[in-house]
Amino acid sequence: MKLNNVKDTIQKFGRSLLLPIGVMAPVGMLMGICGALGQDYMIERLPFLDNTVVQTAIHSLQDITAIIFENIPLLFAMGVAYGMSKNEKGIAVFASVLGYLTMLVVMNVYLTVTGTLAEDPETMSQVGQGVVLGIQTLRIDAFGGIIAGLIAAKIADRFYRLELPLAFAFFGGKKSVPIITFLVMIPVGLIIPVIWGLFTQFLLSISFIFMNQHFGVGAYWFAHRALIPFGLHHVLASVVRFSEAGGVYLIDGQNYIGILNATNKILFDLGPSHEAWDRLMPDLVKYLASGQMLITLFRIPAIGLAMYHTSFASNKTIAKGTILTVVLTAFLGNVTEPLEFSFLFIAPLLFVVYIILSGIMALPLNFLDISIGYIRGTIFDFGIFGLLYEGTNWYQLVLLGIVNFIVFYFVFRFAITKWNLKTPGREAEIKNVSLLKEKRYPEIAGIVIEGLGGKENIKNVDNCVTRLRVDLYDDEKVDLERLKDSGSSGSFMAQKNHIHVVFGPHVEFVRNAVDEKLYSK
């Protein structure tokens, strides 16, 4: 029973991430397109873009969409707090934001007091620091938001009915939740820099491994993907891009420190005709665009296709839209997190397979002569830096990418079916597809209420991103078979007198219809 509770909690947590992921995916596609159309190299090749009105519109839209990705941790804090809390979701979300802000400031105070606050942007990136919401602090990205969301949800469920002595009664109940969250986040904000400092020093100490001429690129991409959930991939990337750990390269009698500085010199100043192009570019860009393009243009689509093909037949229509969106977000916008987070917590075994394969399948870059710059991995960058530049050997990347696609597709397809992983479209097979497809929500609501034992057996109805969450008076009156007739993709008793009924992205409309029937005269 305890094992089932842990499993349910993990799955619940994984699904709580779908709300921010759902926002990131379409916005990421739009941001990627705007980013590409606003680049100087794109304007040179597409003259119609060289227009003040067009560029103003593109840059403005890019700034608008970028705000979402600059505040991903905040989105995760709110999404996790909403999804994980059982009671008073609104106050949990409020507390998560307050808790996240508190953590940022406390980490800044710790860095300032200990004298470890970086003084310039280059040093900042190498030690994992950055400016977040106007505060210079550690860049722990989504992980920081998840911590704040989990703590806020737990505190909200535990203390939303807290009673205090009469003199302090005003601060009891719901008001106590953000206050307690604030107090808890202070020690959390002091502990995290200590742990992150140790991790950063460890990465610096082993950086020589990532530059090994035989297996370094594989080790780099393995570590890069493995560190994404914690935000430490920024530190790793900065170490090899800007510091001596990434190498010192002699070009025209001058030394360039780090792979990105050398790449910029060759790519933008010297060009394919210079001797440094053939001598250095293949070794430099395997840590930049070449490696990233294998992920965004080949591996992510392969994983998406495997998920779609392994989804249940009745769920494919719903699964297709979700999967296609997160795949295009990577393909067009170089944003891979939506897909990675879609199975990181729901199916962690799949993430282990993913990072191991990412390292192994990057190794062939060692003996290929691919010279595609820059650092991004979108289809636009492949077109500009791969097809329009001379001497890139872009076809080698395509051939290696096809091999990557095949390997990732079949390995993921096998793993999903072998371990029966609950990736999108595999939660449970939908018995009555037509009801949801035709959006017959009032009819669905009537079947749900009947399956739950009637109006008199329903205490409270709520929903998360994918499920109705219903408190009951007597769970013995529930008819699970009748609930299947509603088009639900699954129902289960999360605890005594509390049931979850899964409707996927339709859940809000079903919940509204259920409320209307419950409260109508």
Q: In which residue are the tokens 């001797």 written?
A: 275
464 annotated active-site: yes
In angstroms, the Cα distances linking 151 to 85, 99, 108, 147 are: 10, 8, 20, 6
Q: For residue 477, give the DSSP letter.
A: G
Q: For residue 211, give the DSSP letter.
A: T
DSSP-assigned states of every residue in 417-463: HHTT---TT-S---S-HHHHHTT-HHHHHHHHHHHTT-GGGEEEEEE
Residue 429 has phi, psi (to 5 degrees) of -75, 135
Q: Choosing from 464, 465, 483, 499, which is the catalytic residue?
A: 464
Rounded to the nearest angstrom, the gap between the alpha carbon of residue 182 and the centroid of all alpha carbons in its chain is: 26
CA distance 82 to 86: 8
C-alpha radius of gyration, the chain, whole number: 25
Helix (H) or strand (E) holding 493: strand 490-495
In angstroms, the Cα distances linking 367 to 62, 216, 263 are: 37, 13, 19
In angstroms, the Cα distances linking 192 to 45, 65, 138, 237 are: 47, 29, 9, 21
What are residue 495's DSSP bridge partners? 498
Query: Residue length, the chain?
Result: 521
In angstroms, the Cα distances linking 8 to 5, 126, 358 are: 5, 38, 29
Q: Which residues are catalytic?
A: 464
